[in-house]
Structure 1
């Protein structure tokens, strides 16, 4: 077993059942309660769940799906995935106290699976792994902050430090974090967006002038047609199924585009609906297009060509020519570019017939009320930015941007990943944001772009960066090319992780390593001025407050805001003088800093929101607006047909499809989540919607491919990828026959991240290409 990756042992208990044809139902309720009682007592768990996603409660630590603008169910405004995330966080039957780390060395913990690591419970005490030590030991908060400050100030340049952010970080913590980092002197702020929806942000910014969804929650219920692309809502955003069901009952049609038949795309049994429980769930998908992996761009072009032909048959009834002329640019060149593609060729590239695509187009050809939503099935390919731009082309043809019931709807993963970017967590900050920081805080922020996630890993591997600070997340397992990333982290002088629970990244460490335990979303946050709340932004741009519900598991936990503020105090303090507004000297190589009362910001988060209001557009009267039940929508230009592009227009773009020419014996692999998983957090070994139980090391394969390659069901195989002459291997997977297009395969991450080369990234966005990995499969080595 490689010491950097999860253990490769198979459980020996794999059971394969029939895949589900509908999502949720009573089983989802039962599974949610099972997770609660496994971690805490039922009464405590139910109390917390009652507050989850309520207007006076806390924001779900799972996905970024928005809450209903109006009424919210008092029976439960959450899904199975959210319940699992909460159960994982409020666990109090076990704690990862210093005793655990006295019992197990780092080497011994590395032999444990990721599920086992998470089941040890919440971290309770700051921990340090000293150079050459075998075990983590307890350390005081003051000593931890001073150690980090000393290491950071000893760097030759601020650019030798990497400051990573996970999506669960609140707006208040994110703003304070980026302020501290830029005052330190660098823009090295990679975040989890770099690994998931960065392609979306780049594409939408280019075409619409804003890298966010143009729809509101209520638009789903008003749409005539909803197209779901590269997404598995039943597992990754189950609360999305509720407005989809409502849309269906209002007469909407749903088109699903995906290589896999997923339960959440087929039907939904609403657990709170007696009708659904008694008579069965609501069928969701009207047309299912089972495309080959990474053929979405070709599909969009085929649909556009059909729309243009339909417009010739019924001029003025298919395309919105008024919208195109008034609000867009590049239409004529775009239409002309379609002439080089044959419809039959585009359909064949998708693995579909022209008739299948025509059936889908017929559903929306006469209505502009079209929503297209997508997730990482589209964002993690080399041509992802082009694919998303092609989605926008289709929406622009229909005039579907800036109307009720229509628009672009990327489905974000982490619960505040979008808010973090709004707050300035970005390695490529806009000049106007930096100008605002300079105006408000009277310092000159660094202007050069910093490292994104992939570039940060390379910088650590090459010795250009020597300190890593992670605000949340499981960096080592989330990033591509697992072994390369591990070697990069090991090359650091210092690695620090702010975390709620133990994960593998804590065990893949630099010369000195620290774990700093923080409060979670469910925890009450008591500071000097009383109980605090934080705020988060949903995928539709709603900013709302979030209050913890339970007492922290340990009195030794600090909020992320407090951790950042205390660290800033340690870094910017000097033993002999106070660094103030007019003082141009400070310790080490740090320039003079504008005086900030970090203690006041830690004590009262309203003061942080006052600062955000001065820097970030759209947050006027922040403290007043965020206290409104349900929060507020921040400004969104495309939603009102205002496009902040260079010419003030929405842009048609010209994009070329990518055709994967596979050699004999090669397959195209996409990584997916199991149902018992959220990102790299593993809640269990089941994937019941796909019929997989008690095992994660499986590879889904077309039956014809199995026959051609000579594999049998449950045969143990190794997966290999080769890139630029270097071969990578993921060992010991069980072959499972599955309904997936020929030439395509799927397997879970993070187990298969080892196959994704660090240099294989999307054009323009640099997102790892985790959804299109060329592999070969061989019988497992003995």
Structure 2
């Protein structure tokens, strides 16, 4: 049987040092340049770095952190993570050419570690794995497109196809993609949001009427208090540390809530600040609440109770409204009285015990923001990947609504998203549950009837493939097989497909877990110049704060055989949906012999302005798109909550009633959360080090409290197996090394995606269907002999 999961061999080189107490500084500079220079020449690498995140440059292909609205550094408007991502794209020392696939069979490649696969460099030619073959071989672009078209046309229903999207896809490619897929006849458009911030989108849409952040970049610097929950900015969004440092020097206080002491939340030394480099960085956290995994809601609910008590004290002193913004609550919210009444069922001491804190510790945090509405609360996947994730995020909104912190300068809700354009993809219509008004706009503009039935999200897509209900998988970027939970089940699902297709820049494990026939289509990256018939093109992306800005490549592609995502999608659409008539004046069209007009897909490839003209007619907030996006720094799209306009059922922001989850573990059980190392971004592994946590030369480690290690009869650096049992089925992640770490008792942590095998496909968050990767009940045993 073919191996489904990454190789389980240990490197045998693990070194454990004391975790860092300061982020960035000279080590970050050294690491950035070392990685760039290792993969490419200094001139090419430097040209890419100095143009990254500049107003006339390209958008970082890593995280979705927003760029400063005003001044940007001319030297380094990027972080270590971004430098690694760019080095991966511009590297020229190695290419994954047909020679690589001739040298290694698929069975040989799948035995290689993910790090090795990524180090083979940029893909250069379309490749095909034919039924029964052992090796990928080159295929002509035209033949590849025709093969996909034939397979799609052979399906009994368009719903037998899955069209997945990674967050790196541009606005232009995303719009063309969803238009093509809906003209084909399905809403099966899962994307990486389903696996990360879908809980955020659901919660914010329910409570505020928009599933996006309500803050702008400048709000971080103007806040009085910033509370950071379930997030590790030093590794996952390092550029966030710059406005946090500015906020601190402006007098802001920072509350950090996390099971782990993350380096970026302790101290930050800005590599571009002479002051920091000479005199040391800025202490970041004022109050650190080290809570057990998934006890965030208990903490938030305790904060709400304390705020109400403080308001009662103020009212008794004749200062009603000093703590709670009563005017905001009365004018802009609903459900307040029901929410307040619901708090009576919870005892403050019990809530404090659930989140591992004393009432005094929680009070210390509340005291920082009880008299100011300028409160920003940030969160990431430490909150979104639990069964009760949507309710926990709604509890964040409860806190902000009590304070009147929505729609003001220096306050608001701030989800920190991962992929650089994951939010833009959703804005462009990449969604399995499109809103009726979006579909109505497509019908009005193009005069075709888009499908109305909800499509498959990521989890439902995997189940559909596994059950034989979906037969073609098309992946626009990403590493689907490794990103999804239940690794073996997902692999089995992909292998049941008739055809799997991946549009990619580099080799990854998903190319090796394939259907009966498999295609790899190499595409341009964010850094590559995109030259089409009318000249060099640019694309646009949306940041986590809702800024849409242009992005254009600055280096020549490593080979001239690559195609842009737009070109790939338009050529495929031309072969699959060329017979779907549209309005003559809806977009650029060509007349057919039957008297109807059809989309001129070739014209869209030649000039991306034409795509943006189409977007303008369909997506609200994109008026004068081509003019607005050419402004230096781009433009903010409309955001109702920022203006205290809530597109909910009653036009108001909603208080919600939520119940904390208390994990009751049996003897010998622990609660595991997945984390990322400092040498990875999502599923992309750049190295085997986690510098900030003191881990070197190894990824298969499990962080445990010293008391838990002793109670289980284990030892430091012992090799163990991790087990989960759901619905009577035992799952095992083999061969991890025990590392003693400062983590709450009963809690453990290990790296993603190696531990995805422990999460069953049916283990999902309520309402959002996000895989539960942050609260996995496990047992730990000595590793079995292999």
TM-score by length of 2: 0.97
Contact residue 23 and residue 264 of structure 1 kept, 8 A: yes
For residues 270 and 383 of structure 1, what CA distance do their matches in structure 2 show? 36
Where 1:635 maps in the other structure, the secondary structure is coil
Where 1:595 maps in the other structure, the secondary structure is strand
1:704 aligns with 2:707: yes
For residues 713 and 502 of structure 2, what CA distance do their matches in structure 1 show? 45
For residues 684 and 581 of structure 2, what CA distance do their matches in structure 1 show? 43
Show the counterpart of 2:44.
44
For residues 683 and 770 of structure 1, what CA distance do their matches in structure 2 show? 22
How far is 1:593 from its partner?
Answer: 9.3
1:452 aligns with 2:457: yes
How far is 1:42 from its partner?
Answer: 1.2
C-alpha root-mean-square deviation of aligned residues, in Å? 1.1
Structure 2 gaps, min length 5:
316-320, 585-594
1:538 aligns with 2:543: yes
Large movers: runs of 4+ above 2 Å? 578-583
Show the counterpart of 2:290.
290
Show the counterpart of 1:684.
687
Show the counterpart of 1:64.
64
Q: Deviations over 1:229-288 (max 9, x none)?
A: 000000000000000000000000000000000000111000011111111110000000
Show the counterpart of 1:641.
644
Counterparts of 1:198-347 in structure 2 under 5 Å? 198-315=198-315, 316-347=321-352
Contact residue 637 and residue 643 of structure 1 kept, 8 A: yes
For residues 280 and 4 of structure 1, what CA distance do their matches in structure 2 show? 47
For residues 665 and 148 of structure 1, what CA distance do their matches in structure 2 show? 50
Where 2:724 maps in the other structure, the secondary structure is strand
Q: Deviations over 1:620-674 (max 9, x none)?
A: 0000000000000000000010000010000000000001110000000000000
For residues 79 and 102 of structure 1, what CA distance do their matches in structure 2 show? 37
For residues 518 and 345 of structure 1, what CA distance do their matches in structure 2 show? 54
For residues 266 and 733 of structure 1, what CA distance do their matches in structure 2 show? 28
Contact residue 207 and residue 656 of structure 2 kept, 8 A: yes
For residues 274 and 771 of structure 1, what CA distance do their matches in structure 2 show? 39
For residues 689 and 398 of structure 1, what CA distance do their matches in structure 2 show? 35
1:507 aligns with 2:516: no
How far is 1:369 from its partner?
Answer: 0.2
Show the counterpart of 2:501.
496
Where 1:314 maps in the other structure, the secondary structure is helix
Contact residue 524 and residue 548 of structure 1 kept, 8 A: yes
Residue among 736, 742, 745 paired with 1:739: 742
Show the counterpart of 1:428.
433
Where 1:721 maps in the other structure, the secondary structure is strand
Residue among 388, 396, 413 paired with 2:401: 396
Show the counterpart of 1:127.
127
For residues 653 and 22 of structure 1, what CA distance do their matches in structure 2 show? 38
Q: Deviations over 1:565-616 (max 9, x none)?
A: 000111134xxxx664499xxxxxxxx9961000000100000000000000
Cα–Cα, structure 1 residues 2 and 772, in superposed 2: closer, same or farther, change >3 Å?
A: farther
Residue among 764, 777, 781 paired with 2:780: 777
How far is 1:726 from its partner?
Answer: 0.7
For residues 757 and 365 of structure 1, what CA distance do their matches in structure 2 show? 42
Where 1:437 maps in the other structure, the secondary structure is helix
Where 2:598 maps in the other structure, the secondary structure is coil
Q: Deviations over 1:733-778 (max 9, x none)?
A: 0000000000000000110000011000000000000000000000
1:555 aligns with 2:560: yes
1:728 aligns with 2:734: no
Contact residue 466 and residue 496 of structure 2 kept, 8 A: yes
Counterparts of 1:537-616 in structure 2 under 5 Å? 537-573=542-578, 580-581=581-582, 595-616=598-619
Q: Deviations over 1:389-434 (max 9, x none)?
A: 0000000000000000000000000000000000000000000000
Show the counterpart of 1:524.
529
* Aligned positions, number: 770
For residues 14 and 714 of structure 1, what CA distance do their matches in structure 2 show? 9
Contact residue 183 and residue 593 of structure 1 kept, 8 A: no
Contact residue 163 and residue 181 of structure 2 kept, 8 A: yes
Contact residue 447 and residue 583 of structure 2 kept, 8 A: no
Show the counterpart of 2:467.
462
Residue among 404, 407, 416 paired with 1:411: 416
Contact residue 467 and residue 495 of structure 1 kept, 8 A: yes
Where 2:599 maps in the other structure, the secondary structure is coil
Show the counterpart of 1:588.
none
For residues 126 and 49 of structure 2, what CA distance do their matches in structure 1 show? 28
Cα–Cα, structure 1 residues 535 and 313, in superposed 2: closer, same or farther, change >3 Å?
A: same
Structure 1 gaps, min length 5:
584-591
Q: Deviations over 1:332-383 (max 9, x none)?
A: 0000000000000001000111111000000000000000000000000000
For residues 302 and 361 of structure 1, what CA distance do their matches in structure 2 show? 10
Where 2:725 maps in the other structure, the secondary structure is strand
How far is 1:732 from its partner?
Answer: 0.1
Q: Deviations over 1:123-159 (max 9, x none)?
A: 0000000000000000000000000000000000000
Where 1:256 maps in the other structure, the secondary structure is strand
